[in-house]
Amino acid sequence: MNNEKFERPWGTYTNLLDESFCKVKTIVVKPGQQPSYQYHHKRSEHWIVVSGEGLATVDEETTALKPGEYIFVPVESKHRIKNTSSDRDLIFIEVQTGTYFGEDDIVRLEDEYGRVQS
């Protein structure tokens, strides 16, 4: 794997491991930004914060996270994470488990960047 970095409006992600049984990413969320509020049909996710601080929402329950803390996102749970800093990146490791890990298994419910499909 070449650890290619992918740009998004809210930051970046880099695939660290991509196997049939799991996918592991480093995700960087820019200050004040957040990915879409979304869910997945075929995968669950574990998020482990390694730098910065944020607010994780899973099925409308919000939890503050700082380095060393983690949260589990079950299959089909609505989720997002927001970087609460105004000047520091939020960096976390995402471990996906399930039956499929493609980016087309994202159902966006809310998105600040106009990416919700109707």
Please work out, in degrees rounded to the nearest 5, the angle formed at the alpha carbon of residue 63 by the alpha carbons of 74 and 21: 25
Q: Is residue 97 over pLDDT 70?
A: yes
Structure confidence by residue, pLDDT tens digits, 99-111: 999 999 999 999 9
- Average pLDDT for 49-56: 98
- Average pLDDT for 81-109: 97
| Structural domains present in the chain | 5-106 (2.60.120.10)
Per DSSP (E only), the strands in the chain are: 5-8, 11-18, 22-29, 37-39, 43-51, 54-58, 61-65, 70-73, 79-83, 90-98, 107-110
pLDDT at 17: 96
- pLDDT confidence band for 4 (50 / 70 / 90): confident
Residue type, 2: N
pLDDT at 92: 98
- Average pLDDT for 14-21: 96
* Mean pLDDT for the chain overall: 96
- Are 14 and 25 in contact by the 8 Å Cβ rule? The answer is yes
- pLDDT confidence band for 16 (50 / 70 / 90): very high
- Are 79 and 58 in contact by the 8 Å Cβ rule? The answer is yes
pLDDT at 118: 64
Q: Sheet containing 5-8: which strands, arranged edge to edge? A: 5-8, 11-18, 22-29, 90-98, 43-51, 70-73
